[in-house]
């Protein structure tokens, strides 16, 4: 076996390097082409919009699907999810969402403690849900859109809480406050062209601070007692008043019926008298006798003792057995 000298080995290595050096430019070109092709094609997801920048300047938006761009950093694409709903929490932090949501035990009173219009302090916890409606404005109009949402929400919620009393914030007007906060937040975010669409603002928990909870509980108990008494009074009212109204209505109807009966009877008597008067005018003697006979036919049967008096006689002649049965009995 022939042993090569070191000089021969070095010479052979140099020759191989010289031969390989002829192919290096071709290899570099091929690598550049491969890298360029890989950087030219990009995809946009179905819930995204691609924002294309050329040398840092905004050029266009691209829809979901495959697209081409200039490689080597000339064109840069930023994918923005426009359908995803983002949530900002105030006064609470969700550690794990699910059937049993787990919240952080840490206190966030610096963002949730508020002063109401009647100078009471409440711990107001709420959430804001939003999405990126305009990806261009979202990327370029403001430095930190998420922080903008938090800052605007805190300002609006504190101002609204100051316009309501403690009872309204605790019980009555929570949905109204959320709806107004959503409208006012949207106006401010649109003014600064943040590209954000507010979906909902919802108050989660509204409670007094721990130091004053006992006093609030006593007030709530008193209000509940008051409501109970009011309900009992209304119950008694609903039992008595409708019955009294029914009795009054019945009495009125009876009086109206009695009055109508009397009026109708009077009208009938009047019409009958006028009819008799009309007949009397036609034949006074006959009508007088007829009336006399009709009257006597009604009166005589009701008399117990009957006497006939002759105007030509000076004494009274008893009429025997008139109106009596045999044996002296009626």
Give the model's pLDDT for residue 296. 81
For 260-280, give one letter per residue: b (16+ CB within 10 A) or e.
eeeeeeeeeeeeeeeeeeeee
Q: Is a pLDDT exceeding 80 seen at residue 280?
A: no
Does pLDDT of 4 surpass 60? no
Q: Is 156 exposed, middle or buried (0-12, 13-18, 19+ CB in 10 A)?
A: buried
Query: Is 3 within the bounds of a domain?
Result: no
Cα–Cα nearest to 89, from 124, 139, 115: 124
What integer best gives the mean pLDDT of the chain?
83
Strands (E) in the chain, as ranges, are 41-44, 48-54, 57-62, 65-68, 75-81, 86-90, 94-96, 102-103, 113-115, 121-132, 196-207, 307-308, 317-318
Residues 111 and 203 in one domain: yes
**Structural domain ending residue among the three candidates 52, 81, 110:** 81
Its pTM surpasses 0.85: no
pLDDT of residue 212: 75
129 within a domain of the structure (yes/no): yes
Question: Do 39 and 90 belong to one domain?
Answer: no
294: helix, coil or strand?
Answer: helix
Q: For position 26, what pLDDT does the model report?
A: 66
pLDDT of 330? 46
**Once rounded to an integer, what is the mean pLDDT over residues 308-317?**
60
193-236 pLDDT tens trace: 999 999 999 999 888 887 777 877 787 788 888 989 999 999 99
- What is the C-alpha to C-alpha distance for residues 69 and 61, in angstroms, rounded to an integer? 12
Q: Which of 174, 208, 242 is the last residue of a domain?
A: 208
Give the pair of three-digit tokens for residue 181: 């906060």
Q: Are 160 and 177 in contact (CB under 8 A)?
A: yes
Answer yes or no: do 131 and 32 share one domain: no
Same domain, 146 and 74: no
**Per-residue tokens: 228:** 């109970």
Residue 137 lies in a domain: yes
| Rounded CA separation 253/255 (Å) | 5
Residue 140: CA atoms inside 13 Å, Cβ hemisphere, count?
12
Tell me how crowded residue 306 is: count the other CB atoms within 10 A of its CB.
11
Between 321 and 89, the more confident residue is: 89
Query: Are 277 and 191 in a shared domain?
Result: no
Q: Does 3 or 134 have the greater pLDDT score? A: 134
Confidence band, pLDDT 50/70/90 cuts, at residue 95: confident
The closest of 88, 108, 97 to 181, measured between CA atoms, is 88
User: What does the pLDDT read at residue 15?
Assistant: 60
Whether 109 is in a domain gets the answer yes
Domain span at residue 261 reads: 211-321
| Strand 65-68, strand 75-81: pairing | unpaired
Lowest mean pLDDT of 6-10, 74-78, 185-189, name the range: 6-10
Gyration radius of the chain's alpha carbons: 55
Specify the number of domains making up the chain.
3
Name the least confident of 33-47, 108-122, 192-206, 229-243.
33-47
Average pLDDT over residues 288-315: 74
* Final residue of a structural domain among 208, 228, 260: 208
CA atoms within 13 A on the CB side of 294: 7
């Amino acid at each position: 076996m022939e042993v090569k000298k070191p000089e021969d080995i070095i010479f052979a290595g140099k020759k191989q390097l010289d031969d390989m050096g002829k192919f290096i430019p071709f290899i570099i070109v091929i690598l550049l082409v491969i890298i360029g092709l890989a950087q030219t094609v990009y995809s946009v997801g179905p819930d995204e919009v691609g924002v294309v920048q050329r040398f840092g300047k905004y050029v266009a938006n691209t829809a979901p699907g495959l697209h081409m761009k200039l490689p080597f950093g000339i064109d840069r694409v930023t994918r923005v999810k426009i359908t995803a709903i983002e949530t900002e929490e105030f006064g609470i932090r969700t550690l794990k969402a699910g059937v049993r949501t787990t919240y952080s035990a840490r206190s966030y009173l610096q963002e949730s403690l508020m002063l109401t219009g009647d100078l009471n302090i409440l711990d107001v916890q709420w959430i804001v849900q939003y999405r990126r409606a305009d990806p261009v404005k979202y990327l370029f109009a403001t430095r930190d859109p998420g922080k903008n949402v938090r800052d605007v929400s805190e300002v609006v919620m504190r101002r609204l809480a100051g316009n309501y009393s403690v009872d309204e914030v605790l019980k009555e007007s929570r949905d109204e406050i959320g709806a107004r906060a959503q409208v006012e937040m949207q106006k401010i975010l649109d003014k600064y062209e943040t590209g954000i669409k507010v979906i909902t603002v919802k108050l989660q928990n509204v409670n007094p601070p721990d130091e004053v909870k006992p006093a609030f509980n006593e007030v709530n108990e008193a209000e509940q007692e008051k409501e109970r008494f009011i309900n009992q009074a209304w119950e008694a009212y609903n039992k008595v008043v409708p019955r009294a109204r029914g009795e009054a209505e019945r009495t009125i109807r009876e009086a109206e019926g009695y009055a109508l009966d009397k009026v109708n009877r009077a009208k009938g008597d009047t019409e009958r008298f006028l009819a008799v008067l009309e007949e009397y005018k036609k034949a006074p003697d006959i009508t007088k006798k007829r009336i006399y006979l009709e009257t006597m036919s009604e009166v005589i049967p009701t008399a117990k003792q009957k006497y006939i008096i002759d105007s030509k006689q000076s004494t009274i002649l008893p009429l025997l057995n008139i109106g009596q049965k045999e044996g002296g009995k009626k």
